[in-house]
């Protein structure tokens, strides 16, 4: 039977962390409980000492680096010191019951398992609204419906740990980025229903505006890149139409110019692909551009032939093709190879290259 390590990132926790570690130590399926102190400071040393006495391995960051950084530090530690163990990540604030953590651990197989909250009427309105908003945006961007995209209770098989450590993001955006990459790279994601627990004195370190911006940043980057490319396309298109009156020439020149801009932005910023993948991505992107150009021209001709002006026809055509372009770029053009098909990278080597200090481990 595969052992399961429990990873708990903690920033300024209270006694609920100690209660959780104690309860987990009494359940057979779990091998290791790793707690990462995300720079809580001396005031919380007593809580972490109590967690250590309850059986947890405590890692300490000197400064607050964010939940994503804490999770990756813990994954690093488990991969090196407890190789082969699956991992279940849980929050420290009492939201995840040991029985639900065990339920997620039992469901871990080849992909990601999410402990999915049901968000009934007893859940605060802000939390229900935030999850609904993120769920709908995620569905729109990926075409994949996940009920609870923001859950902190997640199970990962041991084979995915190097992949998880490679995903960018140091704060709350990291967990959403994991789901986006999983959808893009065909990593299976399943959901297990869990209890929705909100205690009377529940508190969150989620900063509504700043952290919401971080969470939605992956979507915003693509939208801004596409809008900028659209502006370039419009300027060139109407310049060429005005100078030549040739609709086909204008469409071709405008699309070639905006496509070059869009590819560069998406490759370097939006989908953050390495230089080694640039050649194959460029070939796929060129095929996409030619195909979309043909569709773009045919739609333009159709709309203008029924009496619609060139300007409204252009805007309507681009609006129709925006979603299609995004899905093809995400799923095909900038698609990364599945995690198991990549060269393996040692965790120690990754730390050395990034210059990130490993947290202090106190057994």
Mean pLDDT over 73-80 rounds to 96
3-state secondary structure of 179: helix
**Residue, of 23 and 268, whose pLDDT is higher:** 23
Check: CB of residue 169 under 8 Å from CB of residue 181. Answer: no
| Per-chain mean pLDDT for the chain | 79
pLDDT at residue 142, as a whole number = 66
- State the pTM of this model: 0.65
Three-state secondary structure readout of 99-152:
HHHHHHHHHCCCCEEEEECCCCCCCCHHHHHHHHHHHHHHHHHHCCCCCCCCCC
Q: What is the pLDDT of residues 26-48, one digit of tens each?
A: 876 567 999 999 999 999 999 99
Whole-angstrom distance, CA of residue 273 vs CA of residue 277: 7
Structural domains of the chain ordered from first start: 4-206+341-362 (3.90.550.10), 218-270+274-335 (no CATH)
Mean pLDDT over 129-148 rounds to 70
Over 90: is that where the pLDDT of 326 sits? no
Q: What is the pLDDT of residues 224-261, one digit of tens each?
A: 777 788 788 889 988 998 898 888 888 889 878 888 88
Q: What is the pLDDT of residues 88-100, one digit of tens each?
A: 999 998 889 999 9
pLDDT at residue 347, as a whole number = 44
pLDDT at residue 128, as a whole number = 58
Closest CA to 62 of 76, 54, 73: 73
pLDDT at residue 336, as a whole number = 60
User: Could you tell me the CA-to-CA distances from 119 to 123, 125, 147, 209 in Å, in that order?
Assistant: 6, 9, 10, 22
pLDDT category at 185 given cuts 50, 70, 90 is confident
**Residue, of 273 and 262, whose pLDDT is higher:** 262
Over 60: is that where the pLDDT of 1 sits? no
Whole-angstrom distance, CA of residue 282 vs CA of residue 356: 32
List, as one string, the DSSP characters of 216-263: HHHHHHHHHHHHHHHHHHHHHHHHHHHHH--HHHHHHHHHHHHHHHHH
Over 70: is that where the pLDDT of 352 sits? no
Whole-angstrom distance, CA of residue 235 vs CA of residue 246: 15
Q: Within 10 Å of residue 178's Cβ, how many Cβ atoms?
A: 22
Cα 176 to the chain's mean position, in Å?
Answer: 3
pLDDT category at 362 given cuts 50, 70, 90 is very low
3-state secondary structure of 27: coil
């Amino acid at each position: 039977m595969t052992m399961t390590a429990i990873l708990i990132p903690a920033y300024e926790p209270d006694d609920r962390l100690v209660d959780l570690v104690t309860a987990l130590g009494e359940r057979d399926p779990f091998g290791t409980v790793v707690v990462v102190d995300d720079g809580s400071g001396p005031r919380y040393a007593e809580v972490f000492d109590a967690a250590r006495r309850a059986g947890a391995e405590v890692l300490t960051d000197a400064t607050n680096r964010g939940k994503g950084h804490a999770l990756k530090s813990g994954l690093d530690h488990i991969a090196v010191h407890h190789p082969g163990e699956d991992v279940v990540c849980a929050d420290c604030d009492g939201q995840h019951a040991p029985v639900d953590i065990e339920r997620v651990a039992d469901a871990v197989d080849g992909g990601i398992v999410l402990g999915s909250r049901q968000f009934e009427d007893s859940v605060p309105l802000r939390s229900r609204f935030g999850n609904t908003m993120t769920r709908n945006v995620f569905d729109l961007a990926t075409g994949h419906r996940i009920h609870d995209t923001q859950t902190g209770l997640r199970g990962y098989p041991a084979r995915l740990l190097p992949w998880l450590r490679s995903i960018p993001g140091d704060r709350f955006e990291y967990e959403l980025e994991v789901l986006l990459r999983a959808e893009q790279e065909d990593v299976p994601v399943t959901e297990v229903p869990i209890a929705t627990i909100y205690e009377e004195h529940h508190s969150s370190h989620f900063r509504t505006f700043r952290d919401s911006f971080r969470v939605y940043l992956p979507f915003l980057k693509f939208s801004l890149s596409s809008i900028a490319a659209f502006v370039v396309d419009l300027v060139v298109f109407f310049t060429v139409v005005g100078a030549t009156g040739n609709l086909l020439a204008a469409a071709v020149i405008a699309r070639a110019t905006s496509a070059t801009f869009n590819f560069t932005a998406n490759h370097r910023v939006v989908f953050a692909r390495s230089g080694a993948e640039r050649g194959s991505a460029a070939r796929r992107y060129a095929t996409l551009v030619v195909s979309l150009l043909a569709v773009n021209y045919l739609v333009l001709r159709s709309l203008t032939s029924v009496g619609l002006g060139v300007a409204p026809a252009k805007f309507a055509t681009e609006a129709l093709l925006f979603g299609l372009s995004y899905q093809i770029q995400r799923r095909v053009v900038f698609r990364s190879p599945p995690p198991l098909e990549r060269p393996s990278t040692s965790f120690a080597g990754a730390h050395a290259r990034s210059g990130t200090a490993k947290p202090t481990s106190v057994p």
